[in-house]
Structure 1
C-alpha cells in the first residue's frame, strides 16, 4: 500500500484508498484479521509482547503512527478475554497500586506520542523493538526481591512506556515476581491491568485527532480476531519446544525492528 493510505468504511465494507487511487476492501481486512489471529497465537505460544507483535504485523498497512492507537483498542478485547479467564486469581492490591501510579503516566506517554512526527515514531518504535530483544533475554526468569510497595515505583516507567509503545510488561514482570506475585495470580493481575491500560490509551487517543471512529472500529474487529488465536496458540504450545517458540518470536521482532528503522530513516 502506498504511503498515505487510510482505512475507511464505505457501503458497509472496510476499504482503504491509497495515493494512487487503488481501493482495498475485503483483502485489506482479511490481512488485518489474519495478522490479529496470528500474532495472538504467537503471543500465547511465546508468552510475551502480544501487542508488540500485532503492531509489527499491521504497521505496513495502517501506517506507523496509526498503529499504536489501533492496537491499543484491539488489546482491550484481547486482555479482557484473558482477564475473565483468570478473574478469580487477581491480586487487587497490586492492581490498585499499578493503576493509581501508572495511569497518569500512560496519559502523559500518549500526549508525548501524539506530538511526534511519523518518522520520529518509526525511529522510536524501531529502537524500542531492538532493545526488547536483549532485554527480554536478560530479564527472562529473573525476579528482583522487592517489597510490595515497590510496584508503585515501577508503575511510573511502566505507565509512560505503555503510553508510547508496547512491551512494557517486560519491565513490570520481574518486580511482580519479586513481590511474590506468581503463577495464575501474575497472569490475572497483568491481564486486568492490561485492560485498564489499553482502555486509558484508547480514550486518550480518542480525544486526539489520531484515533478516528473508523480506526477504533478496526481495532475492535482486530481484538475479536485475537480470541480464537489465543486458543490455537495454547494448542500449539503443548506440541512444540520453548526454544522454537523463542526463535520464531525473536526473528519476528527483529524483522519488525528493521522495518520500523527503515521507515524512520527513509522517511
Structure 2
C-alpha cells in the first residue's frame, strides 16, 4: 500500500509541478523535488528531476522556436555547459547528508527571494547571460532547482 501511495504522490506532484511550469515557465521542479526526494532519495531524485526538466524545456523550446532569442540561448549555453559538468562531478562526490542540507537551504532561499523586490523591472545585457548560465548550469547539475532563480 505504501508503494501505491508513493507512486500516486509522484504522479500528482509531477502533474501539478509541470502544469505550473507550463503556465509560469518555471516552478515545476520546486513542487516535484520534495516528493521525489521522499520517494527515491536525494541521490536519485535530482537526476530524475533534471531529465524530466530537460525534456519539458526541450518541448517548450520546440513549440515556441520562432519566439526564442537565439543569441541569448547561445550566451546562456556557453556559461551553463562547463559549470553543469563541474556541478555534476561535485554532486556525485559529495556526502548525501551535506547535499540534503544544501538543498534545504536553497529551497528556503528561493522562498525568501521570491518575496523580496530584488531585480524587478530590469533588463540584462547580452553578455550577462553567460554568467547567469554558469550559475544556473552549476545549480541545476548540483541541486536540480536553480531555474526559478534565473527566471525570477
Q: Structure 1 length normalisation: TM-score? A: 0.51
Distance between the aligned counterparts of 1:38 and 1:148, measured in 2?
33
Distance between the aligned counterparts of 2:53 and 2:123, measured in 1?
30
Whether 2:111 is the aligned partner of 1:130: answer no
Structure 1, unmatched stretches of 5+, are 1-21, 175-267
Q: Provide the aligned C-alpha RMSD in A.
A: 2.5
Specify which of 16, 33, 38 is matched with residue 55 of structure 1.
Answer: 33
SS in 1 for 2:116: helix
Deviation at residue 75 of structure 1 after TM alignment: 1.5
Distance between the aligned counterparts of 2:67 and 2:99, measured in 1?
37
Distance between the aligned counterparts of 2:123 and 2:23, measured in 1?
28
Q: Is the 8 A contact 2:29 2:144 kept in 1?
A: yes
Q: Structure 1 or 2: larger strand share? A: 1
Identify which range, 160-169 or 127-136, moves more after superposition: 160-169
Deviation at residue 84 of structure 1 after TM alignment: 2.4
Aligned residue pairs total 152
Deviation at residue 59 of structure 1 after TM alignment: 1.1
Q: Is the 8 A contact 1:139 1:170 kept in 2?
A: no
Greater Rg by CA: 1
Rate the CA distance shift 1:122–1:94 in 2: closer, same or farther, 3 A. Answer: same
Specify which of 39, 45, 54 is matched with residue 17 of structure 2.
Answer: 39
- After superposition, residues 146-185 of structure 1 pair within 5 angstroms as 146-173=124-151
Distance between the aligned counterparts of 2:129 and 2:19, measured in 1?
29
Structure 2, unmatched stretches of 5+, are none
Rate the CA distance shift 1:52–1:121 in 2: closer, same or farther, 3 A. Answer: same
Q: Structure 1 or 2: larger helix share? A: 2
Distance between the aligned counterparts of 2:125 and 2:17, measured in 1?
34
- After superposition, residues 1-267 of structure 1 pair within 5 angstroms as 24=3, 28-44=6-22, 47-138=25-116, 142-173=120-151
Deviation at residue 128 of structure 1 after TM alignment: 0.4
Distance between the aligned counterparts of 2:108 and 2:2, measured in 1?
34
Relative contact order, higher structure (CA 8 A, sep 6+) = 1
Distance between the aligned counterparts of 1:163 and 1:140, measured in 2?
25
Q: Structure 2 length normalisation: TM-score? A: 0.84
Deviation at residue 168 of structure 1 after TM alignment: 2.1
